[in-house]
Every structure is written in C-alpha cells, then in structure tokens.
Structure 1
Amino acid sequence: MRRVVLLGGGYVTLHAYGALVRRLRGALRRGEVEIVVLSADTVHNFHGFTGEVVAGLLPIALTQTPLTEAMPRARVLHARVTRVDLVARRVHYSGVDGDEDLTYDALVVGTGGREPLDAVDGLAGRGLTLRGPGDLAELLQRVRVVDGPVVVVGGGLAGVELAAALAARVPQVVLVQSADRVVPALHTEQPRLAARCTTELSRLGVDVRTGVRVVAAEDGSVTLSDGSVVRTHTVLATTGQRAVALPGLERLPRDDRGRLVTTRELLVAPDVWSAGDAASVAHPRSGIPVTANALWAIKAGDQVGRNVARALAGRPGRRFRYLGLGQAASFGVGRGVADLYGLPLTGWVAWAMRVGFFVRFMPTRSRAVRVPGELIRRARAAQPPARLAVTR
C-alpha cells in the first residue's frame, strides 16, 4: 500500500483529496493507496461565508464540516505535526494517543498561515484571528457581551468585509488601517469598487481610522500610533498572514513571508507538494506570487491532487495553469462588490455572484443547498432592519 499524507484541514487538503479520489478510485477501493489527513482541527472551516456568520446571517455549524464527513475515503487523524523527516519520508505528530509517526509516499503541505500577532506589543494572547481552530467561535462568543467597540486591525478587503459584518451585531466597530485609505490594492485596480467599500462602511457606521497603526494592546484597550487609546475587549487581526512553519522543512526555499517556494508543478521537494497560504505559487502568466485567498488555494489544491495521482502512476506532473477569476466582498444581503475578470460589479449582481461561487465550492451538497434560503430567512428576521437592509 502506498500512502498519501495531507497536512492541514483547509482548502488545499480538501481539494487535493477530491482530485485524488476521482483519479485513484479503483486503487483506493482495492486498498493499494491510502489517504491520511493530519489536522489540528476536526472540521473544515469554510471561510467564504465568515462574514455572513459574523453578521448572524448563517449559523456557524453550516460552515464547519467535520473532516470525516468532507473526506470519507481518508483516514483522518486529529493531531499536530511536530516534525517532518524528508530523508526518512516520515511525519511525526502528537495525537490523542501521544506521539506517533507514519511514513509517506507523497506529502502535501496545506497547513496555511496565521496573522503575525507578535508584531504588535501585547497583541499575542489578546488579539483574535480567524484562521486557527476555534477562532471564529471565540469571536462570536465575545461579541455577545460587548464592552466598548470591537477593533479590527487591517483594512484590506477581508478586514473591510469583517468590519461591516461586525457592525450588524455590535454598537461600535473601529477599523484601523496603516495605509492612508482602506482596500489600497483595490483602489489601484478598481477605484469604483474601492469607493463603494468606503461608502458601505460609512453607511454601517464603522469608525475608520487610516494612517495609524496599533502599537500596543493591553487588557481592555489598544493604543494607536497617534497616541489615542481605544477601549475594547475584542481585537480582530486581519493583517495578512505568515506561513505556519513545520520543523523539518527549514531548509526548503522560502519567500520573505515564510512561504514554501514551489515549482510550476507545485513541488517543494521530491514527492512533497504545497499550495495555499503555506506556499508561494507563481502566477502562470506573470510569474508573480498569486494572492493568498480561498480561490487560489482551491484551484492549486486540485492541481496538487492531480499531480500526486500522476506521480503515483509514474508520470510527470503538470504545470499549474489557472489564471484567476477576481475578488468579491459582501456588506449584507443584496449589497456587494465584485471584480470579475476585471469587470466591476456592485449591488445585487455582485452579491448573488459571490454567494453562487461559494455555494459551488462548499464541501458537501447537503450544506450548500441550505445557504441561500438561510440567508434570506435570517435577513428578513434580523433586527434592526437598517443594518441588514436589502437594497431595492
């Protein structure tokens, strides 16, 4: 039996698994190949609808699929990887039964990234992110009892969307952006959409503070670089991510953000592949590293699965050729912005396109079909109506 080990429970693992099952169905049935998933989380967190969950438009359970349900043909181990031995082709991990290890014939590193909270004095241990196990549930728990405004650090598209979502649940949200305006990359590419983001934040009453940074965090407050102090018990960091470093992979080439540098076939070492937030994947046309978001992780994960299947069959891998689709954000039902192949979209069209895209990529059909009805039902019942109003 040959063993494929997938590290992490995110998009890369899920879509690499799907490609493997489609191409190795017979070998899996005959017991010639085994797929093992090692993940510190027991569920696949579908981050596409995080904004809707935070805003109260979707139940968190709908976006958290048990890994055993999402990948029924795999052996799923709830464990933390402690070391990868590239020479012995072995993964060491700490699981429910203590420290163990297993060998691999093919290894996929999809361990993602985390916001670098240690870059701000006092933020580690006080600030929340939405990338680790249990992070989203903890944020929802905190916003049920609000003491002062919720502070969102980082004004990229993800930070703007989450600030808007939080404004539907809590009385005051402060968005801190070190640049002189929010969504600066979108201003360059799609100024109309960037202006719409600013308008939506204003409509929702978000206190946007640009040109300042959070320089310190204490229990109950954060201090900004202009000397002002914001009283809060909840700080959410959306400042970008640093790749999760796995012991044993230190000698592999990395970029300045700690991401494993891949070949065009998404290899990082012999019989070791990577994609998603853990990897620096070159755009097939420009050669510039692709954006760290769900769509690129999904498409690269699928290509990794295809190439692993080809490698097990003794065939060379194929280059990653996906060119991208665009980006989108939601500000409530019927309110959205989207960049589709360079075409700017707003309002209902952008919102519906975004929902349709994410529904398409949810881990199971049974969960996906529930999303549209749940969104409409909860939007109609939400209070106060102005915060989650449907545009007409």
Structure 2
Amino acid sequence: MTSAAPSSSLPDQPAEAGTRAPLVFGGVPEAEGFARVPITARDRVHFRVDRDLPLAEFRADLPDGVTVSHDEGEGLYRVDGPCGQGQVLADWIRAWCAGHDCTTVGLRAEAGVRRRAPRDLPPAFLDDLCRHYHPLSLKRLQRNASTVRLHVPDPDDLHQQVAEWILKAVGQYDETKGVPFGAFLATQLSKWVHDLGRNAHGRTAADTENRQQKAIAAFQAEHQRRPTERELAAYMGQSVATLRRNSQTVATLNGLRNLQSLDGGPDATEVLLPDSHEAPDQIMDEADQTLLSHALTAACASDPTAARGQRAAQPNVLGWATWYLTTWGGQTKTQVSADLGTSVRNMNVHADRVERALKDRLAELSE
C-alpha cells in the first residue's frame, strides 16, 4: 500500500493546505485519480418490489447501455440509463415487473443524476483511498456515536457501514466543485447518520425528532434549563396541540428503538404460563395476549441464517409497527403512514413479511 500523508482528522483543507504534499493512493495523486474517472450524468429509476426480483434475468433483459444496482439492505433497486430516458425506463420496468408477477413499490424516475462507478477507478487507488479514510471516518463519527449505536450496535457492522459510506461518497464526489474529497466525505457522513433513523423509522418521525432535539438544545444553551411545553411550542413556532402530536410521534419512535427483544433473540425468552385447570379465565386471557405479543415480536426479529446485508438480516421494525399500531393501537394504516412518513405500500411490503413468519409462529403455538 502506498503511504499517504498523515492526518488526524478529515481535512477541511484551509488556505495554507496548498503547501502540503498531495495524498497519493496506489501511486496516483488523489485529485488525478478522480479526474481519470470523471463524474457523469445519467437518468436513474429507483424502485422496490414486493418479492425478490430475478436479478440475473432482469439484467439480461435491460436495454443496451442500461445498468442496475441492488441495495440488499434497503431492498432498493437503481436502474441507470442515458439522460432523457428516465420516464421511458420507468414505464419499461413497470411493465417488465408486471409480466413477472412482481409489483413495484415507490417507483420514481430522477433526471440528471451525477455519479461515478467506484469500480471504474484504478483498483490500487480505490483500495488505498478506502484504507486511508476509514479510520478518519470512524473518528469523525465519534460526535454521532449515540445515534450510530442505536442503529449499528455491532462494531463489525459499523466498520462495514463506514466502508459502504466511503464508496458511496466516491460515487457522488464531484471533483469539478473544488472541494477536497475529505471535506466532502465529512459533510456527507453527518447526513447519512441522520438517514439511518429516517430509513429505519420513517422520514417524518425522524425529522420531527431531530427538530425537537435541536430546539431543546438551543433553548437550554440560551436559558440554561429545559423548556416547558408552552415555551418549546413558542420556540418552535407551533401550537401546543401540534407539539403534543409531534411529541407522541417521537415517543413512538423511541419506543420502537427500545424494543431490545427485536435484536436480542426473542426465542430464547421463556414465557411462563399458568395451569389452565387452576387459573381463572382473566389470567388465561392475559397469557394469550402475551403469547401473541411474543409471537409478533419473534416474527419481526432478524433471521440469524440470513447473509449480512440482506433485508431479512435486519429487524423488521416497520412491519412490527404496522401490525402493533393497527391491531392494538387503534390506528389505521393511513394514520400510521402519516406519522412515520412512509407509504402504505411500503408498510404493506414489511407487514406481509411479518404475516408469513407470524403464521408459522402461531401454528407452533397451537400445537
């Protein structure tokens, strides 16, 4: 590995940075490496499906010059084609999926997306660049440690996530903007940490929590105490009723995060039941509810046999929320969709996964 200039943090490259020796990766200066594979524009179609897509067949049928990538963790497909072809590609994808008994979810076309493929960079250059920025990214993320631990508690998973973020930054970095890659990466890391919550619990709920926490922190810095409900509402320019409704959304989000059993092997938890010949009916009703709640939580837990990066390897929090809030919370799917900032169709995809697993769990309980 070619040695790179030492650095203790992601560089913001102040004016005097011009006197530093440039970073060299794989024998290629950093700026030159990105210039060799410039960022280009293309139209992109994003979509999910309600079942696994036959990816090899899908790739084989794609028109010439069109590529597809699949984010297994999010279940998201991205199809890239020439500029001006986004809507045509969207219609083609919708028709192809319909012909293969797949239903698209959240399909949208995006024009003029500027990206580069990391695999097109010189392998030694990309390898050294990732090795250099990986420890610096971990140090930069220390300020977001509490948020990161909520969503990526395992150290090995965190190292993998950081590596994925560096590759994502490589794909999005525009060398023509005059901003060093290190500064661009540092900025993007903060955004992507916030996206962890948005992806797991819904855009609206995560953004509401973020705004409330920022307002509380700003009020405390100004007055050296926590605000009252009325003070916080006034500080945020909201009515008390709106603040209370948003606070309930945040409370729901925090409750979902605190479901340790989703990530802690619920099958290992023993549920003690009274003898039905001696217990009154009320106790047995409560026992039935406990069994059902346990079965639901177990059905939403991550699959230990699934490969890392697959959707099944992550706890199905959105599926749990959909079932719990509509079954016991007295809410409709439309209300839950509005609270969590996600589509009803996306909720149905996650809820269907729960239903398939829950049927097996209930069948075991009835035996």
> Common fold, TM-score beyond 0.5?
no
TM-score range, shorter chain: under 0.3
Query: Which protein shows a greater Rg?
Result: 2
Higher helix share: 2
Higher strand share: 1
The normalised TM-score by structure 2 is 0.26
